[in-house]
Amino acid sequence: KGKNPPTKIDAVIFHPIKKKVYFFVGNQYYRFDFSEPEGFEDDVGAIGVDGWKGLPKDTKIDAAILHPNGKGYFFVGKHYYRFDFHCDQVDKVGIIGEDGWEGLPPNINAAITYPNGK
């Protein structure tokens, strides 16, 4: 679908309820459906406007992970945003290292969940 595919991806996360993958580029998201062998883009929107309620608008997501607790965590500068997939919105905002994610520095550029859940 995408006539102008993104050239630099800022973050990626799998939505465990919708079973789709979201790529974040600048202040936009691109939703991909990989249920078909080829996979295809089936939605594009503005972060915090067209989807992903509670995430900051007009900024880029630095990193994102699907945590073993079933929530999504998005890192933007010194802040993290915890996303509740069941409620389809952010349910907590915090400062990295102060009220969550102790021991990590701000401005995280990438994140991964290790197979043991860490």
Partners of 29 in the β-ladder: 24, 45
pLDDT, one tens digit per residue, over 35-62 is 877 767 788 999 999 999 999 998 899 9
3-state secondary structure of 110: coil
CA distances from 109 to 7, 49, 57, 75, 76 (A): 17, 23, 18, 8, 9
With residue 3 as reference, give the H or E element that holds it. Answer: none
Q: How confident is the model at residue 5 (pLDDT cuts 50, 70, 90)?
A: low
pLDDT, one tens digit per residue, over 55-84 is 999 889 999 999 999 999 999 999 999 999
